[in-house]
Amino acid sequence: MIEVAGLHKYFSLKPGLLDTLGLHRADTPLVKAVNGISFSMRKGEIFGLAGESGCGKTTTGMLLLRLYPPTSGTILFDGQEITGLRGNALVVYRRQAQMIFQDPYESLNPRFTVRRTIEEPLIIHRLGNAGKRHEQIVRTMERVRLMPVEAFLDKYPHELSGGERQRVSIARAVVLNPMLLVADEAVSMLDVSIRASILNLLRDLTEELQMATLYISHDLSLLGSICGRIAIMYAGEIVEAGTPRQVLLSPFHPYTRALISAAPVPEFHRGRRGLTGVSGDPPDLMNLPIGCFFQPRCPSALERCLEERPRLHDRGDEHLVACHGKG
């Protein structure tokens, strides 16, 4: 469904007309948010993207939706190159690519009822008359388990719980029956008690609609429970990718191991541990290291890491790692 190859996204600190057009002068300071990533997503699959804040995972989602124009690289959607789409062709693509935002409190218009919120994409894309749109709204609300439908149709966001708001957001995203769904931390603002039901809903919708779903999160345990494959990002590049068993139970890259070691532990007094065995901060995205981006923080860095940037290679069974080390 989705094939991404050599995708880059640079942001200018001094935006101007050239930057708006996706062009940059040689002397313009650039933030290198995404640095040559490649991956694929399949129909009916949830693909997880994880990493520290600022690693480029949300920017990647925006690029797939064409909310940001890429600096370079290619994105194939069902065999069609979409990086250069403009005008009506881009509108048609966006009918098939939708997003669920992190905060249901901020992403819903407080002046819109549930009915109007879910109807909005149908109106924008000029699909059906009022009667047909109502039928589609009802079917979608039943699909996301906002029932009884009559009890929710004319409610406003302030009259809903957090979980109900997020179900409305999901309904708005899937009412067009998209082929690509980007979910950016879709449960992080919700109570723990209702997160599982929302995650199960996303898993069911992905399978039912045969979507390719990109789930962005920093929570590795969450990704391990719902994703078919997981990719770990650091400083705008993918450093490890594979199945949850490969990435979470048999991690190879030192950064992946550090992320797993930093996961919250049950004991209340211990809290969150930080990146065990790793010192320093992520690199300056305007001045990235010459070799491996992780080598200034890596406890296992080799001399080769100082000069040569590692590329993703297959360690077997499609377990991809970008590291010069031997594990």
Closest CA to 166 of 136, 203, 191: 191
Residues 6 or more apart whose CB falls under 8 angstroms from that of 67 comprise 99
Preceding omega of 157 cis (within 30 degrees of 0): no
In this predicted structure, what is the pLDDT of residue 173? 95
Handedness of CA 121, 123, 126, 127 (dihedral sign): positive
137 HSE (CA, 13 A, CB side): 26
pTM of the model: 0.87
Strands 180-184 and 97-100, sheet pairing: parallel
In this predicted structure, what is the pLDDT of residue 281? 80
Single-letter code of the amino acid located at 204: D
- How big is the chain, counted in residues? 327
Kindly give the confidence (pLDDT) of every residue in the chain, 327 residues in length, as a single tens digit, with 9 standing for 90 and above.
Answer: 899 999 999 998 766 655 556 665 556 788 999 999 999 999 999 999 999 888 999 999 999 999 999 999 999 998 899 998 899 999 999 999 999 988 888 889 999 999 999 999 999 999 989 999 999 999 999 999 999 999 999 999 999 998 999 999 999 999 999 999 999 988 887 888 888 999 999 999 999 999 999 999 988 988 998 999 999 999 999 999 999 999 999 999 999 998 888 766 444 334 444 555 566 788 888 888 889 998 888 888 888 998 899 999 998 889 999 998 875
In this predicted structure, what is the pLDDT of residue 271? 44
Task: Find out whether 165 and 138 touch, Cβ atoms under 8 Å.
Answer: no
Closest CA to 169 of 177, 179, 159, 157: 157
Distance CA 57, CA 48 (A): 10
Distance CA 164, CA 144 (A): 10
Give how far Cα 274 sits from Cα of 56, 238, 281, 313, Å: 20, 21, 11, 28
In this predicted structure, what is the pLDDT of residue 15? 60
Distance CA 278, CA 175 (A): 44
Closest CA to 96 of 170, 181, 12: 181
In this predicted structure, what is the pLDDT of residue 40? 94
Q: Report residue 207 as tokens.
A: 């399978």
In this predicted structure, what is the pLDDT of residue 270? 45
Task: Find out whether 241 and 252 touch, Cβ atoms under 8 Å.
Answer: no
Please, which residues bridge with residue 321 across strands? 240, 313
Give the chain's domains with CATH numbers: 2-96+178-321 (3.40.50.300), 105-177 (no CATH)
Distance CA 131, CA 267 (A): 55
In this predicted structure, what is the pLDDT of residue 57? 93
